Structure 1
């Protein structure tokens, strides 16, 4: 099967490619990214350069690649590309006879905005940290004690996140963060978790949870917890949200209750870690949508996974092939 993976330079895109390579299924991987130095481009069977997702020509270039390669499935490897594929899903699938595994636009919009995430959770009476916009700080201060977390409404990997312990730090952080949301800081870093949920036809088919340690906003140590006590609740939240394919929930546990502070409507950087533990959600979803295989019940091992830096060597002629591929695409269009 041919699988096109976008964002081959992102942790997420690289994790998708790793998961495909770990599978027994013999995949032909097509990787795309704006930067010829993106590591995932060199792990693929075929690679292309594309413009940034914010560039007006992005979708046109992707369409040229779809026309040429005709992949069975498209997997999205960065947050900034999700909405483009969600909004154009039906047209792209029809024109190029492919499947795009992506949630509906309204789900992506909720997940991309920390305040909309909070409003969704609160409206459905799911546990989450108390939160406020700057206009609601006075009420939040009456309801909660310090510390608080100040973060951008949109963002990832802890960029722009501030832990504040008093009002002086609070207002200083508010002056530094554009479009902020303020949340109570629940539990502690030793009780932080991430869960991958697979949803199909409105039903949560699988939930795999791990406790994690963070570094620079990314998981660098993970501890798989088979049959975690919050998995049923996470499945219920995923079904209420209405996602398609992969969802990711991040939360801290306080007095046995998982308080969710972030939702991602996509695969996550911990996706290959779940594959190591025995549940390869990327492989299962591709096989499900292309071959009609059922998504198995997770049978994961209680293992610890430690991440580390690695290196790869790239020769000058390898860099040149991306320019050649781009020239070829332009010639096909002409």
Structure 2
């Protein structure tokens, strides 16, 4: 089961797994999510941070006899990990690593304590006067929790700090302030599973990011690799994670965020030679072979829209429309049972609030 079927990279992940012989069930909150129609079956689920999410996922896993779940969005990571208690392999790091990474302030403290380079970081409620003067490239203000690209603001002067915090919509202790590091940015896939042995580290230099990485190139950088291996040694993820870092003026990696899940650039990792999602899935469900840390440098990713085509009869057999159907009350969350790319009949829609 693959979640977040509407995210830009997920349809490609679904098609890739199906090409490798996996039966894939996709989920999303939006009936227009394209991955729902490219999987073997597709289901609508409540938002990952809602109380209704886990019961719905648990029911779907049982109904579809899912042996593994690949969660791809931060809001659902803690809850979806509960499925491991049902015997479902959840392709995530261990829970304590997940919760640490989801609190960016705690993460920075733990990395610094382990001797891993990070930007200087404060809570906005504890931000010291004069700190901006010690950071000539400015400061980054962002929510302490939540996806890294949301709510990020650049502050150039001390005078702007109070205004930015007051206009952010967050309490001061819900924001962190970080020294801005302006060197080359990397997003790094770290491939590791429950034995804790790092199987591969694939650094990718980010050329353009707009919410997610749009353009990137695989780059060999021994210091970046050393830093990412040190994260696993210090914090014991024992599952796949993605490190985001920048190089400072002396070329030293400074980690500013870790995503405790597969990266949105996993397709580039595959193109370079390390099939991290399919490889770890095989290890999780059928004792598959470990992956080799052999990959090609200089592979460039250009993220683009693409189209898939199918017969009208197959599309109609999905049983739902990509256009969201309004509920009779104008509120609530509609949960059509499923869509399918096979010949199974659609399940009667169920409504939940």
**Aligned with residue 206 of structure 1, among 196, 200, 208:** 200
Label 1:207 to 1:15 Cα distance change in 2 as closer, same or farther (>3 A): farther
The whole-number CA distance in structure 1 between the counterparts of 2:57 and 2:233 is 31
Q: Secondary structure at the match of 1:273?
A: helix
**Alignment coverage as a number of residue pairs:** 319
Deviates more, 1:10-19 or 1:266-275: 10-19
2:160 is aligned with 1:169 = yes
2:131 is aligned with 1:112 = no
CA contact (8 A) 2:94 2:239 kept: no
The whole-number CA distance in structure 2 between the counterparts of 1:264 and 1:46 is 27
CA contact (8 A) 2:140 2:177 kept: yes
Q: Once the 2 structures are TM-superposed, how far is the Cα of residue 114 of structure 1 from its aligned partner?
A: 1.5
CA contact (8 A) 1:248 1:267 kept: yes
CA contact (8 A) 1:7 1:33 kept: yes
Which structure dedicates a bigger proportion of its chain to helix?
1
TM-score, L = length of structure 1? 0.87
Q: Once the 2 structures are TM-superposed, how far is the Cα of residue 137 of structure 1 from its aligned partner?
A: 1.9
Q: Once the 2 structures are TM-superposed, how far is the Cα of residue 256 of structure 1 from its aligned partner?
A: 1.9
Q: 5 Å matches for 1:33-72?
A: 33-72=28-67
Q: 5 Å matches for 1:263-274?
A: 263-274=258-269
- 2:144 maps to what in 1? 153
Q: Secondary structure at the match of 1:76?
A: coil
Q: CA RMSD in A?
A: 2.4
TM-score, L = length of structure 2? 0.83
- 2:327 maps to what in 1? none
Q: Once the 2 structures are TM-superposed, how far is the Cα of residue 202 of structure 1 from its aligned partner?
A: 2.1
- 1:217 maps to what in 2? 211
Q: Secondary structure at the match of 1:132?
A: strand
Label 1:138 to 1:101 Cα distance change in 2 as closer, same or farther (>3 A): same
2:242 is aligned with 1:238 = no
Deviates more, 1:150-159 or 1:118-127: 150-159
Question: Which runs of 5 or more structure 2 residues have no equivalent in the other structure?
Answer: 322-335, 340-345
2:111 is aligned with 1:121 = yes
Label 1:176 to 1:11 Cα distance change in 2 as closer, same or farther (>3 A): farther
CA contact (8 A) 1:203 1:239 kept: no
- 2:176 maps to what in 1? 181
Label 1:82 to 1:39 Cα distance change in 2 as closer, same or farther (>3 A): same
2:186 is aligned with 1:193 = yes
Q: Secondary structure at the match of 2:126?
A: helix
Question: Which runs of 5 or more structure 1 residues have no equivalent in the other structure?
Answer: none
CA contact (8 A) 2:185 2:247 kept: yes
The whole-number CA distance in structure 2 between the counterparts of 1:311 and 1:156 is 27
Q: Once the 2 structures are TM-superposed, how far is the Cα of residue 210 of structure 1 from its aligned partner?
A: 0.7
Q: Once the 2 structures are TM-superposed, how far is the Cα of residue 20 of structure 1 from its aligned partner?
A: 1.9
Q: Once the 2 structures are TM-superposed, how far is the Cα of residue 136 of structure 1 from its aligned partner?
A: 2.9
